[in-house]
Amino acid sequence: MGALAASVGAAAQHPSSGARSAMTRTRTILFWAIAAALLVGHVIVAWHSLVVWRFWEDEAFNLTVPRNLLAGLGYSSDGALSGSTITPFDPRISTGPVVLLPVALLLATGIDPVMAARLIPLAYWVLLLAGLVVIGRRIGGRWAALLAAAVPLAFTTSAGFSPIQGPADLLGEIPAAALIVWALIVLPRRAWLAGLLVGLAVQAKLIALLALPAFAIALWVLSDGTGRARFRDLVRRSWLPLVLVAAPTLLLEVVALLSLGVPGYVQHVRSLGGFLLSGGQGDAATSVLQKLGTLADSWSLPAIVAVIGAVIALGLAAAGVTRQWRTASPEDRVVIAYALAAFVGALAFIGWWATASRLPLWVRHPAPGVFAFFPILAAVAVWAVVRMPRRTVLRVTGVVAASVLALVVGAGAVLHVVAVSTAQTYTLQRQQDEIAPIAAWVAENDVEWLAASPWGYAVAPIVLSGAHLGMFDAPAMADVPRLTRDACTTEVLLDAGAYRVCAAP
């Protein structure tokens, strides 16, 4: 009987152990199933961005720089927005050499120009996602990593006159975000490398300068001591990263000075300053509420649902930082540094955009901050729940809130993938078919320049035809044929179906 009782007692304990094991296996299976679905979603969006979406005008304008570099014209654009003459170090090209020089290397291999243009940004997209997985896991484990990698898939930037159609667009916003994330990853142990990566982010997209306050607050949190001692440690940690932040830009400016000479360089600095102060735009007369509404509408979900998700993420992250601030372990202090950096960084990008009334309602402007910092805030929200006391009302509430956040992000990601998969759009293949007769005519007639009339759909066909790109209303284009979708008012030099080449007036 004693042996039987012992056996029964042991058997009574085994189910709880077995149940825990089964629950662990279930969670593991669920994790990998969601991870696989997330990967498939990212692949679908990336594939459409690479080979389905049309090559649009900002991509084409950026492509003129690597093309001119290979043609021996230096680091120059076609200057379509700067007088329509070859323009060295064109300030209107805010996507920088960290993106465009690798494109030139690919272009030199003879690869299709669109693929050369898009493979580099797509590689940065992969780098961004990998960085979010790494930093998410460091913050809150594998579920936080999964949530961080899902946030960019829920964010949609394809609406509006100046979009990011997808992660392969030849633009600098996503490369800048990727470099910012990796700078945060290496910051706790290699602050100098973080500084260099931020400097490279600036030379991917100038607006990455807005990330500097985020890194300043993170370095302050990671500094040792209190009062003056902490300030001295902050200075000790910061001086070399700051030098390296400036190094890529300083190198580019030295090259520009040597290339342009002193008078040309002075004019270059003036033009660059004017571009930075104006954002390259006129007065769009937009309000803060309009900007925030545009941001809320950019999540593949009803705006109110996106706002609820943002409030949950910020609330959980703030609660976690507040609870752990005084008793933080070294690991927790790193997470707190990431949390405050993400909050300050997101606020800097969104605050700048929202309060700049001259800037249009283009979510592309704050996109580097959204891609880099919003996923980190979501991961910190998971960490905050993990740090809550077990078997308490607070923990239960936190788990429910985090689950709602995950559902919001997951729903946004799914809806984005569905929208991409089912969109009926003007495709890259159709665009290339329509450009083929224009390219043949340009080659046959040895045409050097074509003027776009107006800016928009006519831009990419000119660049992909092999001609230089100008604007119809530029004085330098007075005697240059126009490419347009409209009817010609002068002699028709080529009727290519969708496009016409018209003689200069």
Residue 180's identity, in one-letter code, is I
What is the pLDDT at residue 68?
97
What is the pLDDT at residue 1?
39
279 pLDDT higher than 70: no
Using alpha carbons, list the distances in angstroms from residue 71 to 22, 67, 108, 340: 64, 6, 10, 46
10 Å CB burial of residue 192 (0-12, 13-18, 19+) is: middle
Place of tokens 């949190």: 221
Question: What gap in Å lies between CA 85 and CA 88, rounded to an integer?
Answer: 10
What is the pLDDT at residue 281?
65
What is the pLDDT at residue 110?
94
79: left (phi over 0), alpha (psi -120 to 50) or beta: left
> Which residues have C-beta within 8 Å of that of residue 65, sequence separation ≥ 6?
75, 76, 77, 90, 93, 100, 104
10 Å CB burial of residue 270 (0-12, 13-18, 19+) is: exposed
What is the helix, strand, coil percentage profile of the chain, to 5? 70, 5, 25
Contact 485, 57 (CB under 8 A): no
Per-residue pLDDT, averaged over 30-55, amounts to 96
pTM score above 0.75 = yes
What is the pLDDT at residue 57?
95
277 pLDDT higher than 80: no
> Which residues have C-beta within 8 Å of that of residue 187, sequence separation ≥ 6?
194, 215, 218, 219, 222, 337
What is the pLDDT at residue 171?
97
What is the pLDDT at residue 10?
38
Q: Where are the domains of the chain?
A: 94-422, 428-502
Q: What is the per-residue pLDDT across 450-466, written as a single tens digit (0 to 9) for each?
A: 999 889 999 999 999 99
What is the pLDDT at residue 160?
74
Q: What is the per-residue pLDDT across 218-262, written as a single tens digit (0 to 9) for each?
A: 999 998 877 888 888 888 888 999 999 999 999 999 999 999 999
Q: What is the per-residue pLDDT across 9-21, written as a single tens digit (0 to 9) for each?
A: 333 344 466 667 8
What is the pLDDT at residue 480?
96
* pLDDT over 70, % of the chain: 95
Place of tokens 């370095």: 219
Instruction: Give the number of other CB atoms < 10 A from CB of residue 370.
Output: 24
DSSP H or E segment with residue 450: strand 449-452
Confidence band (pLDDT; 50, 70, 90) for 280?
low
Q: What is the per-residue pLDDT across 364-390, written as a single tens digit (0 to 9) for each?
A: 999 999 999 999 999 999 999 999 888
What is the pLDDT at residue 16?
62
Q: What is the per-residue pLDDT across 181-191, written as a single tens digit (0 to 9) for each?
A: 999 999 999 99
* pLDDT over 90, % of the chain: 79
Q: What is the per-residue pLDDT across 60-114, written as a single tens digit (0 to 9) for each?
A: 999 999 999 999 999 999 999 989 999 999 999 999 999 999 999 999 999 999 9
Provide φ and ψ at 276, rounded to 5°: -65, -40
